[in-house]
């Protein structure tokens, strides 16, 4: 990945490692990268910050740091690892650079954009140094698109040569109609994600694509587009498919408009090659981004349909006998559990299948969801509703190839980087934790309530807080923003499992009804 960074960006990352080492930090954090960017006053990132009102002296006082060089501190040591927060920043920086060209290198201005897109101490610190954050964000978005748009056209590509004015008008009509279809379709899609899904991450991504589309369309000749428009004589306005005015539900509207946007972008891409090949490449990038966003959005829609009101998820397994297992599952379901996960470690596959088939029967009768841990192959054999994967298990992509496109796939996440990756890979729901020490599983680190809060505001994809949650501490978890929880010991080791599940369900129901 580092080969995609400019020399200036690489120097900034080196300085960030040096600063982290001086602080005695076990990993490089976003705050180290911020200081490193300001350390080089001639970098594009620093110039942009100074231009927008950054008071460097106030910043360094807040950081309690002075300028360092990599020669003095870092070259003699093994490089420090990057924290999950910094990896998320670098991921956002890469997206910022790739938003206009897949071959664009990541510079210091993209690193700065990544820092500003990640809420946390960096943004809070900059807000107190006189920096105009909103204006700087807008400038970074404009800069990344205008630079690519202004690149000179290679000399070996001939200029546009049309046979005559009528051919130019024809081209203008095609580009104008396609630009309008793409813009209108994107707005319809964004409205669904914003108001129906209420998803901040997807809304932000769609808004970003819509602004990039507007910037790209401005690269076309506006006079040609408007001058060529002839809606009254457009034969297409009078030709209607038999089902064009019929939409069964909002999801059908969403799907139709995703297709409309992709088709319009392909038309823009192909016909703008006659005008500007670099502009055509930008439409191509947008088309691929729409394919990804379509997958993420429809995955979220399917997850909400399958798990919309599921709030109590119980993990069972490692019980002495099959009879104990079926009794516990029955009691948990009677107490209000809506999802049951079977997690059996160390048993032969035949026994796992036997247990899974029993749990499948019980959950089917109770109209609850059944998830099998780790094993998409066995989940398919028992017709489970889905599979749950850990960070060391097969990928979401590979699991789908085994269990099928319609299955639920959950992923355990322990930090923001893992959460973002799971969403982008197409997870149906997320396990968020561990929140507290658990009686059934050992952990070296705990994500804690802070990660629960962060996950709750990152996406509306179903997120289940997990790890050591009990009736005694569940209120803390709900106050942190969780609306769904996954428990194990709190139910399966309770003296009265049904009552334990019911008590947790009652607290969740009260939250959902408030």
Distance from C-alpha of 89 to C-alpha of 82, rounded to nearest angstrom: 10
What distances in angstroms separate CA 447 from CA 27, 157, 484, 486, one per listed residue?
16, 54, 16, 15
Mean pLDDT across the chain: 85
Distance from C-alpha of 195 to C-alpha of 214, rounded to nearest angstrom: 22
Distance from C-alpha of 275 to C-alpha of 103, rounded to nearest angstrom: 21
Tens digit of pLDDT for each residue in 275-312? 888 888 889 989 999 999 999 999 999 999 999 899 99
Tens digit of pLDDT for each residue in 432-458? 999 998 766 666 678 899 999 999 988
Inform me whether the pLDDT recorded for 337 exceeds 90: yes
> Tokens 């420090």 sit at which residue?
80
Question: What DSSP string runs through 82-105?
Answer: BPHHHHHHHHHHHHHHHTT-TTPP
Distance from C-alpha of 482 to C-alpha of 455, rounded to nearest angstrom: 8
What distances in angstroms separate CA 358 from CA 64, 147, 363, one per listed residue?
61, 61, 9
SS3 state at 324: helix
CATH number for domain 165-303, candidates 1.10.10, 1.10.8, 1.20.1260, 1.25.40: 1.20.1260
Locate the domains of the chain by residue range: 2-149, 165-303, 309-513
Residues acting as catalytic residues: 343, 412, 441
Q: What are phi and psi of 437, to 5 degrees?
A: -55, 140
Q: What are phi and psi of 487, to 5 degrees?
A: -130, 160
- The CATH-assigned architecture of domain 309-513 is Alpha-Beta Barrel (3.20)
Question: What DSSP string runs through 326-361?
Answer: HHHHHHHHHTT--EEEE---S--HHHHHHHHHHHHH
Distance from C-alpha of 34 to C-alpha of 32, rounded to nearest angstrom: 5
Which segment of 37-46, 233-242, 252-261 scores lowest on mean pLDDT? 233-242
The alpha carbon of residue 332 and the mean position of all alpha carbons in its chain are separated, in whole angstroms, by 33
Residues near 505 by Cβ (< 8 Å), separated by ≥ 6? 311, 312, 335, 336, 337
Distance from C-alpha of 511 to C-alpha of 514, rounded to nearest angstrom: 5
* Among 503, 507, 502, 447, CA closest to 483: 507
SS3 state at 198: coil
Distance from C-alpha of 171 to C-alpha of 224, rounded to nearest angstrom: 9
CB atoms within 10 A of CB 346: 7
The total number of residues written for the chain in this structure: 514
Tens digit of pLDDT for each residue in 59-109? 777 776 444 544 444 445 566 788 877 887 887 788 777 765 666 788 888
Distance from C-alpha of 165 to C-alpha of 393, rounded to nearest angstrom: 61
Q: Residue 66 has what pLDDT?
A: 45
Q: pLDDT band at residue 120, thresholds of 50, 70 and 90?
A: low
Of 128 and 68, which is predicted with more confidence?
Answer: 128
Distance from C-alpha of 17 to C-alpha of 340, rounded to nearest angstrom: 44
Q: Residue 152 has what pLDDT?
A: 43
Distance from C-alpha of 293 to C-alpha of 152, rounded to nearest angstrom: 31
Residues near 475 by Cβ (< 8 Å), separated by ≥ 6? 507
Query: Is there a common fold for 165-303 and 309-513?
Result: no
- The CATH-assigned architecture of domain 2-149 is Orthogonal Bundle (1.10)
């Amino acid at each position: 990945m580092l080969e995609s960074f400019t020399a200036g960006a690489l120097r900034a990352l080196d300085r960030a490692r040096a600063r982290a080492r001086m602080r005695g930090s076990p990993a490089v954090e976003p705050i180290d990268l911020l200081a490193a960017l300001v350390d080089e006053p001639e970098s594009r990132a620093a110039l942009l910050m100074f231009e927008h009102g950054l008071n460097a002296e106030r910043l360094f006082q807040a950081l309690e740091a002075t300028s360092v060089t990599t020669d003095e501190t870092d070259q003699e040591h093994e490089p420090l690892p990057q924290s999950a927060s910094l990896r998320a920043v670098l991921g956002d920086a890469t997206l910022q650079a790739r938003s206009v060209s897949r071959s664009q290198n990541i510079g210091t201005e993209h690193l700065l954009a990544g820092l500003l897109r990640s809420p946390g101490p960096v943004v809070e610190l900059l807000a107190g140094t006189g920096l105009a954050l909103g204006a700087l964000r807008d400038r970074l978005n404009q800069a990344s698109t205008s630079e690519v748009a202004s690149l000179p056209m290679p000399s070996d590509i001939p200029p546009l040569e049309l046979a005559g004015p009528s051919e130019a008008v024809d081209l203008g009509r095609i580009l104008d109609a396609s630009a309008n279809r793409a813009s209108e379709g994107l707005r319809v899609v964004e409205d669904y994600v914003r108001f129906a899904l209420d998803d901040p991450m997807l809304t932000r991504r769609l808004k970003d694509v819509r602004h990039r589309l507007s910037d790209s369309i401005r690269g076309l000749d506006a006079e040609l587009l408007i001058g060529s428009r002839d809606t009254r004589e457009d034969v297409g306005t009078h030709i209607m498919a038999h089902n064009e005015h019929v939409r069964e539900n909002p999801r059908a509207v969403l799907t139709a408009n995703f297709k409309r946007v992709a088709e319009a972008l392909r038309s823009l891409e192909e016909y703008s090659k006659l005008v500007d090949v670099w502009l055509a490449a930008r439409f191509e990038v947008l088309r691929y981004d729409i394919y990804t966003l379509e997958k993420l959005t429809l995955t979220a829609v399917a997850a909400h349909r399958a798990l919309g009101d599921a709030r109590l998820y119980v993990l069972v397994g490692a019980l002495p006998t099959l009879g104990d297992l079926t009794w516990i599952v029955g009691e948990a379901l009677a107490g209000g559990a809506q999802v049951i996960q079977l997690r059996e470690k160390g048993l032969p596959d035949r026994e796992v299948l036997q247990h899974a088939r029993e749990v499948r029967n019980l959950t089917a009768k109770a109209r609850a969801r059944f998830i099998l841990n780790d094993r998409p192959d066995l989940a398919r054999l028992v017709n489970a509703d889905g599979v749950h994967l850990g960070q060391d298990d097969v990928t979401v992509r590979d699991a789908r190839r085994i269990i099928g496109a319609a299955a639920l796939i959950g992923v355990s996440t322990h930090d923001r980087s893992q959460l973002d990756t799971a969403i982008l890979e197409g997870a149906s729901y997320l396990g968020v934790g561990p929140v507290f020490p658990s009686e059934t599983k050992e952990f070296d680190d705990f994500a804690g309530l802070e990660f629960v809060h962060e996950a709750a505001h990152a996406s509306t994809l179903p997120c289940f807080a997990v790890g050591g949650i009990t009736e005694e501490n569940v209120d803390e978890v709900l106050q942190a923003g969780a609306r769904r929880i996954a428990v194990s010991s709190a139910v399966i080791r309770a003296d009265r499992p049904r009552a334990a599940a019911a008590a947790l369900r009652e607290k969740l129901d009260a939250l959902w009804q408030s």
